[in-house]
Homo-oligomer: A and B are copies of this chain.
Amino acid sequence: MKEKFYKYIENLQDKITSTLEAIDGKAIFKEDLWERHDGGGGRTRVIENGDVFEKGGVNISAVHGELAPAMQKYFNVGDVDFFACGLSLVLHPKNPMVPTVHANWRYFEMYDKNGNTIDQWFGGGQDLTPYYLFEQDAIHFHSICQRACNNHNAEFYQKYKKQCDEYFWNTHRNEARGIGGLFFDYCKPTEETTIENWYNFVTEVGDSFLEAYVPIVEKRKNLEYSREQRDWQEIRRGRYVEFNLVHDKGTLFGLKTNGRIESILMSLPPHVQWVYDHHPQPGSEEIKLLKVLENPRDWV
């Protein structure tokens, strides 16, 4: 399974980066291959200063070795070995009318000291962070998420949509990071399902990503915007930074377990503002977005 899934994310990375380069038309992804001191490595691809994508990364990695003490504690296991691989992406478009997007698909295995597999699971998801709310775009993104789920289990979409709203919650701001999508974790074989079924589900979500995001980019990338709208985007990007650095488990584990810092922090936006006690005008488009972030909505 680990070879099969790694092969999948290698191909998916190629497909996503070549599609995004074609959309951008100006910038191309810079590739960095890196090795992890204690086993494994990754292929980081970052795009910067494009016509459409101001900054973004589409990274894969496959790492293995002894599970770090902080992770042992987190997973409530003893001294075990692990393998983990996944694709992580974040795209920060230049135009504030185009939403930021994040996606991640990952696979994890744990072994006892004799090399026997003692646990295995998939995790991941995809979620959208608009700066201006086009309801049509939110409905499109969630519809694609729902369709990918419905091919596997009628309950997945509702469940993973809810988990996404809960996970990407900026508790100290009392608002969501964005308008959500899917978030799932610990997808393990049980009496009812196999790891192959989970593979089929996770890869179907992975395959749906470009269909979920690209039509939104195409529709909004040439819209005009003002300096004030750009300021609003940069202020909202501040909330993105706050979530990733204060609450996001993946980021914090990466920072605390000697991950490759530049690959982890590629998720941070290029230009960001913090303005003291900023409040948009009542009745504005900015307030319309905030209302949805404070009370996540059902989109499909």
Contact = CB atoms under 8 A, between A and B. Distances in A.
B276 A273 contact: no
A261 B242 CA distance: 12
Nearest to A56: B276
B273 A270 contact: yes
A186 interface: no
Interface string A251-282: 01001100001100110111111111100000
A262 to B, nearest CB: 5
Given A245-B241, A245-B242, A245-B245, A265 B271 contact: no
A7 interface: no
Contacts of A252: 246
Interface residues of A, number: 32
A274 to B, nearest CB: 4
Contacts of A4: none
Contacts of A276: 30, 46, 48, 55, 57, 262, 266
Interface string A162-193: 00000000011100000000000000000000
B268 A271 contact: no
Interface in A206-234: 234
Interface string A135-150: 0000000000000000
A23 B245 CA distance: 34
7 contacts: A46-B276, A173-B261, A242-B265, A245-B245, A246-B255, A265-B274, A266-B276
Interface of A: 30, 32, 46, 48, 55, 57, 171-173, 234, 238, 241-242, 245-246, 252, 255-256, 261-262, 265-266, 268-277
